[in-house]
Amino acid sequence: MGRPARPLGITVLASLFLYLSFGGTAILAVLLLSGAARHAWVLLVEEAVSVSPRLMAIAHLGPLPIFGLCLIACAVYALIGAGMWTLRRWAREILIGVSILCAILCLAARHFSSARQNSLSRQPPE
């Protein structure tokens, strides 16, 4: 008896993850090589420092750590896509773990964003 047939939904998800990982890596490479990353970083840092001066320490690192994290995320997407394509159990477990982590991070970001909005609205105008 051979392996079970891959369901259509799994094929679509695996293809999507593989497409996102390779597409994301290609886009990051173009951004890094074109110099657009430096320009985007300068714009992001100006906005972030105007909001919180404590972020100036991160500004000195440059865009490479952020793009490194994005490349790691692309590698994880490729790993999930390849594992799902071959119907590996670990791929499903990693996908569930990444989904839970993303949900927690989104909720935390929303909480801190709304808390910041509330604190800004309570400050008297200068």
| CB neighbourhood size of 91 (10 A) | 21
Domains of the chain, residue spans: 8-88
| CB neighbourhood size of 40 (10 A) | 13
126 pLDDT band (50/70/90 cuts)? low
SS3 109: helix
DSSP state for residue 126 in the 8-state scheme: -
**CA 56 to CA 89: how far, in whole Å?**
43
Q: What is the model's pTM?
A: 0.66
What does the pLDDT read at residue 2?
A: 66
What digits encode the pLDDT tens for the residues 8-63?
Answer: 998 898 898 888 888 877 887 777 777 777 777 777 777 766 666 666 666 677 67
Amino acid making up residue 125: P
DSSP state for residue 87 in the 8-state scheme: T
